[in-house]
Amino acid sequence: MSALSNILCCTCGVSIAPNAAAQCASCLAQQFDLATVLNSGSLEVCRCKRCLRFQQGASRDSKHYAAMEPESAELMSLCLKQISAFSNHGALPATSGLSKVSLLDSSWVWTEPHSKRYKLKLTVRAELLTAAVSVQQRVLLTFVERNRQCEDCSREFQNQMWMAIVQLREKRQDEGQRNLRRVEMALAKSKELRRRVVSLDITRFGFDFYFNTLHDAQSFSSFISRVSPTRVKVTRKLVSADSHSNSANLKTTFVCDVVPLERDDLVICDKRGSTSAAGFLKGQLALVSRISSNVKMVAAAPRRDANISNLLCELSQDNFWKGEKGFTVLLSAKQLTKFVVMDVDQCGASGRGGEEDDEKFALADVMVARESDYGVNDEVLMCVSHLGRLLQVGDVVEGYDLTTSVYDEESIKDNFIASFDMPDVVLVRKTKSGGADAAAETEEEAQQSAVEKKKSRRAKKKAAMKSSKENKGRGYRGVKKQNKFEGHLDMMGFAADADERRALAAEDEEGEEGEEDDELRDEIEAAEAALASEVDGEVGEGGGGGGEEGDEDYKGGVETEEATFG
């Protein structure tokens, strides 16, 4: 079979292969402008200015927003969905002269980050209605970013801004809230949990966290229970109800009570309390050794012939709340006193168990002297401690001095069993190894630390006692309260998230101002060009030498003017 002979294009006369349109590709491309066809709709993408999420879906009433990075594949997919020719499965109106359009390739074209413009370079192929001929072109489309507040952010400016609240509380008589600090540190590591929190308030005994959905509040309360032993109570309040549709609007409150025990607390286990809760420590003094999801305690005043495995107790959160009234904090970690170890004598019948704590602890008779009395008098104190395997002569330890501590001995006498003897000292932990020199160094370090803390307090108070204008009309207490609130936000990571949002919002505002500056600069340059042409005309009529000098003076003025606006 012989090959088909070429024909001449009916428009330009170029020799081409025969086709149904009898035209070359250049003439067909001039007749059909695919950029005009693709730009027929509004090429816009909507973004929330506060949370920086893009609105998904072609409808403007869509409530779905998602986070997308600039020039990402997800954002490209969102932009392509805004093109009506692609959303209608490639079908075009008959007036365009094209039957179908298909996308072959797409890529991003870099734009200035603050311009709120996204450019896509598309390779598109379209088929003609009258003939089986396809036209392929490369088209550049520009999408404009519009601001539209999402539903989650709009709730924060209305009365119904939250649907669930988590009230985290640690109720102690003293100001110790180390369990809350543990929750704060765990929350600082989870950015996903912080995103779900709508608002945050600080109360006397803890925090209030507000959420938009019930599921987010449930996840947050479960997270708190894993970090610290907690009791969760759920209450609901009816906001509104619709009897016709059988629906109701409820606000849910999760009250999370953290166990009011902290590490190193000296606790009285009441003999009248629950036997399953206190275990072998019922009617004795106990020392809190560790707090995780459970509370671990060890006997504070053990007998010399006791087995160490019988002096340990592990409380689950359920067992603690069942016998909550049977545990009373006698002394807290703020009342610890430093002692110097004078002698250590291991107890022979201490025993060993198979657990980790059993192998860590061992009973011993320990002779100690107060660090403040060391080298001043000969007063010494004796006790039986579970730290026998860790202590050596000359070590510095911290403990509770029950001979000088202030507490009502008569009121707590009925809480102990008959065979219990109140010790003079309860040793808690070892702080430093060494003898008299180490004790002297520790005392010097303590004095130096006290001086530095005093200076720090003075500096903070002086900074807070600035003029009322700088403190926005708040007094010293108001500034102190605000600084405390900001400190909690910083510890939990909310301050970093807010700074990141503010920085991105500031970049967007700078982009808008940059566009205005560009327009103003274009107007100024046009005015200067018109003025330069008039000056050149006047100088040309006046003479050559003067014209050059005048031109140089004018150029200098233009450079100065540009530097000023720049």
What is the Cα–Cα distance from 131 to 565, expressed in whole angstroms?
Answer: 58
What is the Cα–Cα distance from 531 to 554, expressed in whole angstroms?
Answer: 10
231: left (phi over 0), alpha (psi -120 to 50) or beta: beta
Are 366 and 341 within 8 A, CB to CB?
yes
H or E, element range at 197: strand 197-202
Are residues 275 and 251 part of one domain?
A: no
Which residues, at least 6 apart from 136, have a Cβ–Cβ distance to it below 8 Å?
Answer: 104, 123, 124, 125, 126
Lowest mean pLDDT among 130-144, 274-288, 549-563: 549-563
Q: Is residue 381 part of a domain?
A: yes
pLDDT confidence band for 399 (50 / 70 / 90): very high
Are residues 419 and 282 part of one domain?
A: yes
Q: What is the pLDDT, as a whole number, of residue 524?
A: 55
pLDDT confidence band for 560 (50 / 70 / 90): very low
Are 301 and 423 within 8 A, CB to CB?
yes
Tell me which residue has tokens 């945050």.
200
pLDDT confidence band for 307 (50 / 70 / 90): confident
Are residues 348 and 372 part of one domain?
A: yes
Q: What is the pLDDT, as a whole number, of residue 171?
A: 85
Dihedrals phi, psi of 492, to nearest 5 degrees: -85, -5
Answer yes or no: is pLDDT of 565 > 90: no
Are residues 475 and 383 part of one domain?
A: no
Q: Is residue 4 part of a domain?
A: no
Q: Which of 495, 510, 538 is the last residue of a domain?
A: 495
* Cβ atoms < 10 Å from Cβ of 299: 24
pLDDT confidence band for 144 (50 / 70 / 90): very high
Are residues 277 and 254 part of one domain?
A: no
What is the Cα–Cα distance from 483 to 463, expressed in whole angstroms?
Answer: 11
Closest CA to 276 of 228, 314, 329: 314
Q: Is residue 539 part of a domain?
A: no
Q: What is the pLDDT, as a whole number, of residue 361?
A: 82
Are residues 486 and 437 part of one domain?
A: no
Highest mean pLDDT (candidates 46-55, 125-134, 371-380) = 46-55
Q: Write the pLDDT tens digit of every residue in 209-223.
A: 988 889 999 999 999
Q: Is residue 104 part of a domain?
A: yes
Q: For strands 206-211 and 197-202, give the pairing.
A: antiparallel
Answer yes or no: is pLDDT of 443 > 50: yes
Q: E strands within 259-410?
A: 266-269, 285-291, 295-299, 312-315, 327-331, 337-346, 364-370, 381-385, 396-401
Closest CA to 35 of 44, 26, 43: 43
Answer yes or no: is pLDDT of 51 > 90: no
What is the Cα–Cα distance from 80 to 69, expressed in whole angstroms?
Answer: 16
Closest CA to 432 of 443, 419, 447: 443
Can you read off the two tokens belonging to residue 395?
A: 């070590």
Range of the domain at 482: 466-495
Can you read off the two tokens belonging to residue 13?
A: 């006369």
* Cβ atoms < 10 Å from Cβ of 184: 19
Q: Is residue 561 part of a domain?
A: no
Q: Write the pLDDT tens digit of every residue in 534-549.
A: 545 544 444 444 444 4
Q: Is residue 58 part of a domain?
A: yes
Are residues 273 and 396 part of one domain?
A: yes
Q: Which residues pair with 276 in a beta bridge?
A: none
CA 149 vs CA 46, 47, 61, 124, 502: distances in Å = 9, 7, 11, 34, 16
Are 306 and 419 within 8 A, CB to CB?
no
Q: What is the pLDDT, as a whole number, of residue 553?
A: 40
- Edge-to-edge order in the sheet of strand 364-370: 381-385, 364-370, 337-346, 396-401, 425-432
Are residues 129 and 93 part of one domain?
A: yes
Number of structural domains (the chain) is: 4
pLDDT confidence band for 320 (50 / 70 / 90): confident
Are residues 310 and 196 part of one domain?
A: no
DSSP 349: T
The C-alpha angle 173, 293, 170, rounded to 5 degrees, equals 20
Per the model's pLDDT, the better-predicted residue between 16 and 290 turns out to be 290
Q: Write the pLDDT tens digit of every residue in 203-257.
A: 888 899 988 889 999 999 999 988 888 899 999 988 788 888 888 888 899 999 9
Q: Which of 229, 258, 287 is the last residue of a domain?
A: 258
* Cβ atoms < 10 Å from Cβ of 454: 10
What is the Cα–Cα distance from 366 to 364, expressed in whole angstroms?
Answer: 6
**Rounded to 5, what percent of the chain is helix, strand, coil?**
40, 30, 35
DSSP 2: P
Are residues 342 and 198 part of one domain?
A: no
Per the model's pLDDT, the better-predicted residue between 494 and 159 turns out to be 494
Q: Write the pLDDT tens digit of every residue in 497-515.
A: 766 666 666 665 555 555 5
Q: Is residue 527 part of a domain?
A: no
The per-residue b/e assignment along 427-442, b for 16 or more CB within 10 angstroms, e otherwise, is: bbeeebeeeeebbeeb
Q: Is residue 292 part of a domain?
A: yes
pLDDT confidence band for 357 (50 / 70 / 90): low
Per the model's pLDDT, the better-predicted residue between 396 and 415 turns out to be 396
Q: What is the pLDDT, as a whole number, of residue 322?
A: 83
Q: Write the pLDDT tens digit of every residue in 52-82.
A: 899 987 677 788 899 999 889 999 999 988 8
Highest mean pLDDT (candidates 29-33, 342-346, 465-469) = 342-346
Q: What is the pLDDT, as a whole number, of residue 168?
A: 92
Tell me which residue has tokens 């911290």.
398
Highest mean pLDDT (candidates 167-176, 331-340, 345-354, 355-364) = 331-340
What is the Cα–Cα distance from 23 to 133, expressed in whole angstroms?
Answer: 10
Helix (H, G, I), strand (E, B) or coil at 168: strand
* Cβ atoms < 10 Å from Cβ of 253: 15
Q: What is the pLDDT, as a whole number, of residue 41?
A: 67
Are residues 271 and 174 part of one domain?
A: no
Are residues 233 and 283 part of one domain?
A: no
Q: Write the pLDDT tens digit of every residue in 182-193.
A: 888 888 888 888
Q: Which of 84, 115, 147 is the last residue of a domain?
A: 147
Q: Where are the alpha helices (DSSP H) in 189-229?
A: 191-196, 214-227
What is the Cα–Cα distance from 566 to 558, expressed in whole angstroms?
Answer: 12
Q: What is the pLDDT, as a whole number, of residue 563?
A: 33
